[in-house]
Amino acid sequence: MPELPEVEVTRRGVAPHLEGRVVTAVVLRHTGLRWPFPPNLSELLVGRTILRTGRRGKYLLIGFEHGTLIVHLGMSGHLRILPQSTPAQKHDHFDLGVGDQIMRLTDPRRFGAVLWHGNEEGVLDEHLLLRSLGVEPLEDTFTALLLYKQTRKRSAPIKQVLLAGDIVVGVGNIYASESLFKAGINPKVAAHRISLARYEKLAKAIRETLAAAIEKGGSTLRDFMAADGQPGYFQQSYFVYDRAGDPCRVCGNEVRQLKQGQRSTFYCPNCQK
């Protein structure tokens, strides 16, 4: 699944082609993806100017004067900027036309979403999909003190707390494993047992890990590609993720794998206490 770095790489890729442009066409090839498409989306968007692009967690936000288009890539989706004449393929579900180009959403598994939030519906942050999201990990509101205070009554393993997304958003499976390794914290440790000093290391590790992933174009997941069709290269820098049985890049001990909440966790028992 595309995580925060992949969505941010996508946003940065499409932004120069969208911002300040007038929408010339909206093409919906099915009734919807995870949720139905807004039935009047063409009427809402054609002729309107795209003012900005943004991101909230794993949601891409395309802002207009009268509302926001919310796009989620689901498990297998990606966006590309293509010439308007590019023929659609089987899994191409949504086109947003801007001049002689289109932004096309391709989603083989159809777990993505294209939704509309009009200004008359209230503040965007109160949208059903956004209201329970935690702070953004790359913004100043994300601090070690926040992590410490919000976990005093959390007995769940720290890896699961990070994935929950209600304290800090967008730290998905890959980057949680990598950040915990970088901070030297075992993923099985109960969140409330971690000291403020160790949360300082974890907050720093999360910021650095996500920033490095964005810089390298994200990770090459099975279905992910950037808006220009290029893969990401952060996977070449993994310390533990998907390296079960391999020697730790720091100490040489064997990297281990375990299941936490149906997700695979990778860690080094020697480096992470």
Catalytic site positions: 2-3, 58, 263
Rg (the chain; Cα; Å): 20
Q: What are phi and psi of 113, to 5 degrees?
A: -155, 145
| Residue 169, both tokens | 């958003």
Identify whether the C-beta of residue 182 lies closer than 8 Å to the C-beta of residue 260.
no
Identify whether the C-beta of residue 150 lies closer than 8 Å to the C-beta of residue 165.
no
Quickly list DSSP for 187-229: TTSBGGGS-HHHHHHHHHHHHHHHHHHHHTT----SS---TTS
261-267 contacts, C-beta under 8 A, 24 or more apart: 261/160, 261/163, 263/163, 263/173, 264/173, 265/159, 265/173, 265/176, 265/177, 265/187, 266/177, 266/240, 266/241, 266/242, 267/177, 267/180, 267/181, 267/186, 267/187, 267/240
Identify whether the C-beta of residue 101 lies closer than 8 Å to the C-beta of residue 84.
yes
Distance spanning both ends of the chain, measured CA to CA: 28
